[in-house]
Structure 1
């Protein structure tokens, strides 16, 4: 979690900071083969040098970015759990629970889909 310490320290709302730390810790424990990194002031996880998933925050939500392909692939499931989405991100409101099963599917999908990817982005 040390790699994300500076990012987490800058989250003013203690509940938001706690939630973000919880999610980042969960990813690290569930997917120990992923490399945690901080790029463009956003926590993200990579596999063999390619982007798998990233996170950011705003006042109203935590944003999860499994890239455009990941959002499109899970669009129906994202809607079913009641999260808003754009082409690139999924918005998890601070007052809603994190659907870890969906997050797990997005990460697994990107790991499999990008298994032979040789670039950072698709």
Structure 2
């Protein structure tokens, strides 16, 4: 059965169990509060954060974890040591569904991605 298409970030979040929705919403709210020039929307049917049409961050919910993607293999490589306690892939890492946001890590990842974009 195909997954339904989501019209908005709120629509995506409402499809999740409350714990996953709360965690993702907290990350999105933190990011937008720290970086007011960014905007959230649905791309590839998951929540994404953009700056002037460029991808800055992607988030997704799965059965047993969430993923956090700074849309950059270079940023991921630069943060490899700090991400050591997470399951790390080439362009994303897994976070627990009830993750207490590591605000310094999120802020630093976004600053690195924005610098890479020249913003």
Asked whether the two chains share a fold, i.e. TM above 0.5, the reply is yes
Q: Pairwise mapping of residues 35-114 of structure 1 onto structure 2 (< 5 A)?
A: 35-67=39-71, 68-79=73-84, 82-114=85-117
User: Partner of 1:120 in structure 2?
Assistant: none
TM-score where L is the length of structure 1: 0.84
Q: Is 1:9 the equivalent of 2:17?
A: no
TM-score where L is the length of structure 2: 0.85
Q: 1:10 to 1:70 in 2, by over 3 A?
A: same
* Structure 2 residue runs without a partner (length 5+): 1-7
Is contact 1:8-1:17 (8 Å) kept? yes
Question: Offset of 1:96 from its aligned partner?
Answer: 4.2
* Structure 1 residue runs without a partner (length 5+): 117-122
Question: Offset of 1:98 from its aligned partner?
Answer: 2.3
After the TM superposition, which segments of 4 or more aligned residues of structure 1 sit over 6 Å from their partners?
A: none
User: Partner of 2:30 in structure 1?
Assistant: 26
The alignment yields a C-alpha RMSD, in angstroms, of: 1.7
Secondary structure of 2:21's partner?
helix
